[in-house]
Amino acid sequence: MARKILILSCLMMFSTALFSQQLNASAQSAVDQKLSALSAAQTGGNAGEQFKLNKEIAEIYQKNNLPVLAITYYEAALGNAKNLSQNQLIRNTALALSMCNMQTGNFTNAANYLGEANKYTLQLGNSKKVFYDEQINIASFYRRAKSYQKAYDILKPLEKKIIFEAYDDQLVDKFYAEIAFVCQASGDNANYAKYSQIIEKRKLEQTKEVFNEQTNIYKEDISEKEKEIEIKNQTLTSYQDSLEKAELAKRESDYQLTIKEQDLKLKQSELDNERLVTRALAFGLLFLLLVLAVISYLFFLINRSKNQIKKQKEEIEKQNALLEQKNSEIAKQNNLLALKNGEIEQQNKEINARNEQIKGAITYAKTIQLAALPLESDLNRHFPLFKVYKAKDIVSGDFYWYAHRTLSPTNTHAYYYAVVDCTGHGVPGAFMSLIGIRILNEILFEKNITEPSAILTKLNLELQKALNQSETSNDDGMDVALIRIEHKEDKYHVIFAGANRPFIYFDSSEKELKYQRGTMATIGGIEGKRFNEEFTDFHVILKPKDMIYLSSDGLVDQNNTQRKKYGSKRLLDLLAKIAQEPMVVQKETIEADLDEHCQDTPQRDDITIMGIQLT
């Protein structure tokens, strides 16, 4: 037993030493201390202390983006937890292993470890929602590993359980989305159509609920408008009644006035008759004519008032008719507006939701891509270095690569740097970059191919296999500038191999910028495009203070507002001018010159340029 523990400890310490160059000093010191303590705990047979130390070492590697090493110590911690029969520790460690395997792209192991953790979910008091959510995630991992039948066998029994035991809208939507993805990927078109219809039906039901709420709001608004119109009609009716009463009062007043005037005139006539008997007939006739004239005039005034009142009534009726017509038109317009507003609002919600989903997915992809790129501390560990790395979109189709390994049999330290321009940009380019990083690491560390030209030749073949280009019309590829630096005495032996990308270096003693073309061929592609081209090495001896530049074509191809490209000549002139400046100054000068050239012109491609100073 002690011998097995000693062997396991040695293996862990060897793997730690192999990758220790990727940890900073403080993290490495912490790992070394815990490894010493772990060795003592293993010798003493203290399982609890072994679990604690294995877990802490794994967490340090995971925090420093070294999931492969983290997996080694998490697996040891899982064995300790099982020996301790601690279900909570087993579940937590299995969850951590699932996450690390997902980061390395091993989705089968990610699914298996999440499945092991899921066995204890309900037992440890978690809700059924958490339990079923983990089941869906296990199926998702199997789908990504292309184990479609396993994914489907896990998901199919969950449909009724999720609905009746742990109903949650988001969980149900997630289940139907995942099982639809599995059916689509496995070619099960019938079930894919079935679950797609269920998803659309759920979206429609949610849309109907929102529409009904908006309809009720608009109905309330229309009811308020109708009440306002009713109040106006009542006011108008009251005004009509007031006019009629005023007319009757005026007629009564005029009639009383006429009676009084007649009485007065009769009395005056009688008085005149008494005094002027001889003139009675003449005045009587005159009075009669006067009375007739007054009566005629009164009738004229009455008729004129009636006509005016009639016209006013007709005008009021016309206004009422127009008001009713306008009210009807307003009601129709309100109905149309309500429908249009509902449609527009629903479309906006759908667009916003889709945009948020897409943006979230791309932002998460950026996190994954950045995690795959070399750490800043690793890039600057051996030589001063700057880089200009600008993605056209959130994620980039360009990537830079760094590796350090010892060459056999001379035990010489070799440092590899590369700038790679993948086909396209954005999400498709980012996927290509992840494939390129994985293949480059496999070629150098697993297949032990160390010559730059041989690395590119192998990369060409492996990319064709990864994209199945011999069987499909896939034409994706990548352009590469790759160098290897070896320090020999007081000089550096630099070997360059390129695929459609050049090697630029500055001789500090001659004060001259030099340019070496790469092989005019691309990595990957289909037949008829020279995809079996043999790549060649270019050797050069450089000295301290010399500069090396690697770049994609994004910078030289960037146009300005006059559609003029930045161009290779402008770049070479600028590099010759700034080659002896500090790294920070060179980076800022290039970025400022690019901004001056572009002005308000959108970026057309991903841009990457790396400068390395030999010391």
Residue 219, pLDDT score: 60
CA distance 240 to 310: 11
Of 235-244, 378-387, 489-498, 573-582, the least confident: 235-244
The pair of structure tokens assigned to 100 is 């690390």
Asked if 417 and 444 touch (Cβ cutoff 8 Å), the reply is no
| 347-367 confidence digits (pLDDT tens) | 878 777 776 776 666 776 677
Closest CA to 287 of 260, 259, 268: 268
Instruction: Give one DSSP letter per residue of 535-563, joined into a string.
Output: P--EEEEE-TT-EEEEE-STTTT-B-TTS
| CA-based R_g, the chain, Å | 46
SS3 209: helix
CA dihedral sign, ordered 600, 602, 604, 606? positive
Contacts of 474 (CB under 8 A, 6+ apart): 467, 468, 526
Poorest-pLDDT segment among 42-56, 243-257, 577-591: 243-257
Six token digits for residue 277 = 């008997």
Alpha carbons 476 and 464: distance in angstroms, whole number: 9
pLDDT value at residue 286: 79
What is the pLDDT of the chain when averaged over all its residues? Answer: 86
Residue 101 CA to residue 109 CA, distance in Å, equals 6
- End-to-end alpha carbon distance in the chain: 50
CB neighbour class for 68 (10 Å; exposed up to 12, middle 13-18, buried from 19): middle
Q: What confidence score (pLDDT) does residue 220 get?
A: 67
As a whole number, mean pLDDT of residues 531-552 equals 91
Give the count of beta carbons closer than 10 Å to the beta carbon of residue 527: 9
Residue 229: the pLDDT is 57
At 54, list the tokens.
Answer: 């294995």
CA distance 522 to 480: 8
Cβ pair 483, 496 in contact under 8 A: yes
| 403 within 8 A of 584, measured Cβ to Cβ | no
Contact 166, 127 (CB under 8 A): yes
pLDDT of the residue at 595: 95
Rounded Cα distance, 583 and 423, in Å: 29
> What is the crossing angle of helices 189-275 and 169-186, to 10°?
130
**For residues 150 and 158, what is the distance between their CA atoms, to the nearest angstrom?**
13
Compare 18 and 334 and report the one with higher pLDDT: 334
- Its pTM stands at 0.48
Given pLDDT bands bounded at 50, 70 and 90, which one contains residue 464? Answer: very high
| 527 vs 190, more confident | 190
> What does the pLDDT read at residue 373?
95
Single out the residue of 523, 429, 527, 548 nearest to residue 473, CA to CA: 527
Q: What is the pLDDT of residues 108-155, one digit of tens each?
A: 999 999 999 999 998 998 999 999 999 999 999 999 999 999 999 999
- Cα–Cα nearest to 218, from 333, 329, 323, 324: 333
Identify the pLDDT of residue 325: 85
Beta bridge partner(s), residue 550: 610
User: Which letter does DSSP use for residue 446 in this model?
Assistant: I
Q: Give the whole-number percent of the chain exceeding pLDDT 90.
A: 58
Count of CB atoms situated within 10 Å of the CB of 414: 18
Write the CA distances from 172 to 165, 169, 175, 179, 331, integer angstroms: 12, 5, 5, 11, 41
Q: Tokens 């066998």 identify what position?
A: 153
Task: Provide the CA 308 distance to its chain's centre, in angstroms.
Answer: 73
Per-residue pLDDT at 472 exceeds 90: no
Please name the residues in contact with 393: beta carbons below 8 A apart, sequence gap of 6 or more. Answer: 362, 425, 426, 427
